[in-house]
Amino acid sequence: MANPIALPLYEKIPRKNTLQRLFDILIFFLLLSLLIYRFLFLKNHGLTWLLAFLCESWFTFTWALVISTKWNPVDYKTHPDRLLQRVPELPSVDMFVTTADPVLEPPIITVNTVLSLLAIDYPAHKLACYVSDDGCSPITYYSLVEASKFAKLWVPFCKKYNIHVRAPFRYFSSNPQTFGGSSSDFQQEWKRMKDEYERLSHKIEDAVQKSVPSDFTGDFAEFSNTERKNHPAIIKVIWENKTSLLDELSHLVYISREKRPNHPHHYKAGAMNVLARVSGLMTNAPYMLNVDCDMFVNNPKTALHAMCPLLDSKSENKIAFSQFPQVFYGGLKDDPYGNQLVVLFKYMGHGLAGLQGPFYGGTGCFHSRKVIYGLSPDDVDSVNEKMANNILSNFGSSKELIKSGANALKGKTDPPSNLSNSIQASYQVSGSGYEYGTNWGTKVGWKYGSTVEDVHTGLMIHKRGWRSALLSPNPPAFLGCAPSGGPSAATQQKRWATGLLEILFSKSCPIFATLFGELQFRQCLAYLWILMWGLRFIPELCYAALPAYCLITNSHFLPKVQEPALYVLAAIFIIYNVYTLSEYLRSGQSVQAWWNNQRMSRINTTNAWLFGFLSVIFKLLGISETVFEVTQKDQSSDDASDAEAGRFTFNESPIFLPGTTILVVHLTALVVSLLKLQPPARDGHGSGLGEVFCSVYLVLCFWPFLKGLFGKGRHGIPSSTICKSTALALLFVYFCRRATIG
């Protein structure tokens, strides 16, 4: 029998993907052959042929990036049982939960996430949970205080009966036998826990309805006369594990950092850096977990899984963070908004795991504190006083923070015996002006300058030569809620496109990270693939306009039937769709889910990503700054009985204007073609069935918008948007006619 001390804590298992590689290469060579054909016959065709050539060149380049990323997929298999045998004492973990708006992110959701964290299978005295409330809401604080009382019952109950799902709202939505047992003692305790949780829920609901939990006296005095974006720092130790007992409740700390109108607060990245500094003063754990307020723990052994690659002797000085994929609970059937990311994580995510590692996803991630503080892999084993002082020289004016930072870099933990002893210093490092003249946000901590601080921070970590690990245990480590409405999904996509382009157009561009840093070449290509999402609207919008233009002007951009290139195009279309459909079916998704994701890819690209691009251009021109828009969180998204669930919703936002315009343009073009209102073809080769097929295909992609033209209420496109789109469509038709006359 093998010695457990000699066995690895994790394994990287390559996936067999020979067939996938063959299809990837086949599609790539078909695209190349199409480009060559287009190029050879450029002189024989007009502007539409040239535009099609440029768009297809972009698609080919993008496909090459996809092939590179997916080429070497691997799975990480962790062995937490070996970890417990190998490590004499598990390291401490500071857990960060971020929330920013008590309306968009209801406190009951945050409370369930916190309760699930406090109940994980890990020594309680090794854990500390910090909640960052950027909304400075007394309701959020009140909810956490009440939740801490319930946690004293809930955590022992979970560990006594080995409950697997430790978010109460999720656990009590199922039959007690599903997750616990059938003994009479268990049934009685289950009923008691459910009653207690319902009382907690009612207290929080009552506080939300009243807008304030109580008079602003006593513990709530600091919340009086505060505004969301203008208030002093508020730090409350809700519960402290003073006895350091294994079965005691872990530390629970509430933080609302100082905000002032004239001081930039850098959105979530700024909140994360305050959490890093305050936790460094209070507990200074060598590892940090961060989750969004809606991402509850679904696997109680999550922390043990995460520690396997971080503590294994062969990778302790190589792997900077363990990232768990985002998985969503109670998602709408067939993923109507294309935002559950199942196939993306399965294929692109595991492909990244075979390179330098997955991107940092902003939630469900365990970080090494010394890496966040700026340490490089080559320096881990040789941190001396001079090196530590060099890193800490721009840490800020807090002597206590500099001391704790030095301990963290050297692998020492010497936190205060009492959290209250660090309160005063914590207020100092939570101040809105503390970071001026420091390296926070640039060389230390979470990076500023992008609304997707997660990808930006991960890129800078990879630039220093670190690797990362993608862990996919069964059951999934965390579950969250995906946006369940058109406006919410569009807002999320716009924020992603904006933030990704901010990185691409900055000094943090991965090309520079490869040339002047330690970012591997293929990892650079993977970063380029995701960072260029916001640029994809240019070729896609242009390619989407070509069929309509050709139908109205009686021209063509596709090869004619007698040209062999037409069969190449048909082969690309068929093989690509069959190939992507097979990926969805192998991932346990339905044909409808595949189609929903295909059409949402077109909708997101031409709507949200277009506005994300415009936001970045306005920022670069100094016209306006980009804004971090919080996505609506809704615990009720798993209500499958809702008759309206999955129906596309709209609002007055201009983000739906491009999609509506595209739909109206193609409907007009089809009518023009059907009624034979086209001018005579110049060269005798006018538009054909290929252009009609493309136009019909795009109408099908924008089918939710077609239904929205006739819908009512939130399921209908506002009349103002329809009027603007009609005007733009008429302008497009006029341009086409003028081009024909010219």
- Write phi, then psi, for 237 (nearest 5 degrees): -85, 100
Question: CA angle at residue 591 from 590 to 595, to 5 degrees?
Answer: 120
Omega cis (within 30) before 547: no
- Cα separation, 85 vs 742, in Å, equals 80
DSSP H or E segment with residue 130: strand 127-133
Query: Has 134 been annotated as catalytic?
Result: yes
Q: Which two tokens mark 382?
A: 């040789």
Query: Has 454 been annotated as catalytic?
Result: yes
- Cα separation, 739 vs 364, in Å, equals 53
Map tokens 């394994």 to a residue.
Answer: 11
Question: How is the beta sheet containing 93-99 ordered, strand by strand?
Answer: 234-239, 251-256, 127-133, 93-99, 287-292, 365-368, 319-323, 467-470
Q: Which two tokens mark 526?
A: 């993977």
Active site residue: 134, 294, 312, 335, which one?
Answer: 134
Residue 375 has a CB neighbour count (10 Å cut-off) of: 22
- Write phi, then psi, for 471 (nearest 5 degrees): -110, 130
DSSP H or E segment with residue 181: none
Question: Between the CA of residue 71 and those of 27, 519, 524, 573, what are the distances in Å?
Answer: 14, 18, 14, 22
Active site residue: 24, 133, 454, 634, which one?
Answer: 454
Strands 251-256 and 234-239: antiparallel
- Write phi, then psi, for 244 (nearest 5 degrees): 55, 35
Residue 105 marked ligand-binding: yes
Question: CA angle at residue 230 from 225 to 235, to 5 degrees?
Answer: 75
Residue 631 corresponds to which amino acid?
T
DSSP H or E segment with residue 7: none
- Cα separation, 126 vs 296, in Å, equals 19
In SS3 terms, 390-435 reads as: HHHCCCCCCHHHHHHHHHHHCCCCCCCCCHHHHHHHHHHHCCCCCC
Residue 292 marked ligand-binding: yes
Map tokens 């080995």 to a residue.
Answer: 162
Strands 296-297 and 127-133: unpaired
Decide if 361 contacts 454 (C-beta within 8 A): yes
Cα of 144 vs its chain's centroid, Å: 25
- Write phi, then psi, for 129 (nearest 5 degrees): -110, 120
Best CA proximity match to 97, nearest among 320, 251, 266: 251
- Cα separation, 142 vs 133, in Å, equals 12
Q: Which residues of 661-700 are buried (b: 16+ CB within 10 A; e: fewer)?
A: bbbbbbbbbbebbeeeebeeeeeeebbbebbbebbeebbe
Which of left, alpha, beta for 142 (phi over 0: left; psi -120 to 50: alpha)?
alpha
Alpha-helical runs (H) found in 265-422: 267-282, 302-311, 342-343, 350-353, 369-372, 385-392, 399-409
Q: DSSP label at 298?
A: S
- Indicate the annotated binding residues for UDP-alpha-D-glucose: 105, 134
Query: Which amino acids are annotated catalytic?
Result: 134, 454
Going by the annotation, the residues of the binding site for Mn(2+) are: 268, 292
